[in-house]
Amino acid sequence: MSALRYVVILELDNGYMDCVHVCYRKNEAYGAAYLALTDGIDADSYYVSLAENREGNNGVIIELKDKDDGKVIQWVTILTYKPEDEE
């Protein structure tokens, strides 16, 4: 198993941030990110963007957007790190 960890952070446009998951596998992190964004939403009104690198290669961002105006409602950042005790 890889020593890398993937931290999934949910952010809202009002400044709220929450670490929703710490994963050992990349695909698990992307799944957790998708579930965090889509929990309780009306699928007919919103869509999830494709994953993109954040500015400065500071993780990956996935956004939940309003279908009508394209406004970003909330987003998830996936950060990768290697614990110091496993380097």
When pLDDT is averaged across residues 18-31 and rounded to a whole number, the result is 95
Q: Which amino acid is at 71?
A: K
Asked whether residue 18 is domain-assigned, the answer is yes
Q: Measure Cα distances from 34 to 1, 72, 85 in Å.
A: 23, 15, 30
Number of domains in the chain: 1
Tens digits of residue pLDDT in 25-41:
999 999 999 999 999 88
Tens digits of residue pLDDT in 57-80:
789 999 999 999 999 999 999 999
Supply 11's token pair: 């952010």
Residue 72 structural domain: 5-81
Asked whether residue 30 is domain-assigned, the answer is yes
